[in-house]
């Protein structure tokens, strides 16, 4: 699909124990609920049919859930798997899981945790679920650098390396977390034209 401009066609924001889809509150649990219980509650609300979810680390669960929210009822249509990409970023890489894994090596190292001691594994989990086979990259920076991401995406689309992409910020460190994930594709209409401003985290 090479016609049309590049638009944001969907957005998912997950923070403060709330999930927003295209600016509308989709799910909420009490603020005192800890992250693992919140993630399970969201999983039950938006999916509930993917047993491998329970083996993932928190970073992968967050990104996977945001992708599920965006794609479960509105999957990318008319885009080849080889031209459907993923571009993500965060601050802590996989440090949250690294620390948990380090704790286990004092006793018996956990292979289940070791699998997730690379931040880009979240992209693998999303790609397996949705059949993406295109360009993928994971950036780390102190804040969500929307100018860098918009520029990188514009280059991918201009070079026809992708015709659709999930992109955004997926961060978790201990109890602190935030996800801002966008569905971006070349089409004839959408919520907003791709730009640094349109990728900026929503204030909801």
Report d(CA 51, CA 30) in Å as an integer: 25
Q: Centre a 10 Å sphere on the Cβ of residue 61 and count the other Cβ atoms it contains.
A: 24
How far apart are the C-alpha atoms of 138 and 78, rounded to whole Å? 25
The two structure tokens encoding residue 136: 């993928």
Which pLDDT score is estimated for 197? 96
CA nearest to 61, candidates 72, 75, 50? 50
Which has the higher per-residue pLDDT, 165 or 114?
165
When pLDDT is averaged across residues 148-157 and rounded to a whole number, the result is: 97
> Which segment of 84-88, 99-103, 183-187 scores lowest on mean pLDDT?
99-103
CA distance 190 to 59: 28
Average of per-residue pLDDT across 69-80: 94
Architecture of the CATH domain 5-199: 3-Layer(aba) Sandwich (3.40)
Q: What is the pLDDT of residues 98-148, one digit of tens each?
A: 998 888 887 878 888 889 989 999 999 999 999 999 999 999 999 999 999
Q: Between 117 and 150, whose confidence is greater?
A: 150
With a pLDDT cut of 70, the percent of the chain lying above it is 98
- Tell me: pLDDT of 201 over 90: no
Residue 49: predicted pLDDT: 86
Mean pLDDT over the full length of the chain = 94
Q: What is the pLDDT of residue 2?
A: 65
What is the pTM (predicted TM-score) of this model? 0.94
Q: Determine what percent of the chain is predicted with pLDDT higher than 90.
A: 84
When pLDDT is averaged across residues 28-32 and rounded to a whole number, the result is 95
């Amino acid at each position: 699909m090479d016609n049309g401009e590049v638009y944001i066609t969907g957005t998912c924001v997950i923070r403060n124990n709330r999930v927003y889809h295209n600016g509308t509150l989709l799910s909420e649990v009490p603020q005192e609920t800890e992250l693992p219980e919140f993630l399970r509650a969201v999983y039950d609300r938006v999916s509930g049919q993917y047993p491998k979810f329970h083996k993932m680390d928190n970073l992968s669960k967050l990104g996977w859930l945001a992708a599920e929210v965006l794609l479960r009822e509105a999957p990318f249509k008319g885009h080849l798997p080889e031209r459907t990409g993923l571009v993500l970023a965060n601050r802590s890489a996989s440090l949250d899981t690294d620390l948990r894994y380090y704790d286990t090596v004092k006793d018996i190292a956990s292979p289940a945790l070791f699998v997730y001691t690379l931040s880009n594994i979240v992209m693998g989990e999303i790609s397996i679920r949705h059949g993406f086979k295109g360009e993928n990259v994971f950036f780390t920076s102190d804040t969500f650098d929307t100018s860098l991401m918009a520029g990188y995406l514009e280059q991918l689309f201009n070079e026809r390396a992708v015709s659709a992409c999930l992109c955004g910020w997926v961060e978790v460190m201990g109890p602190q977390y935030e996800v801002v994930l966008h569905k971006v594709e070349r089409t004839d209409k959408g919520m907003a034209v791709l730009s640094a401003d349109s990728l900026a985290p929503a204030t909801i």
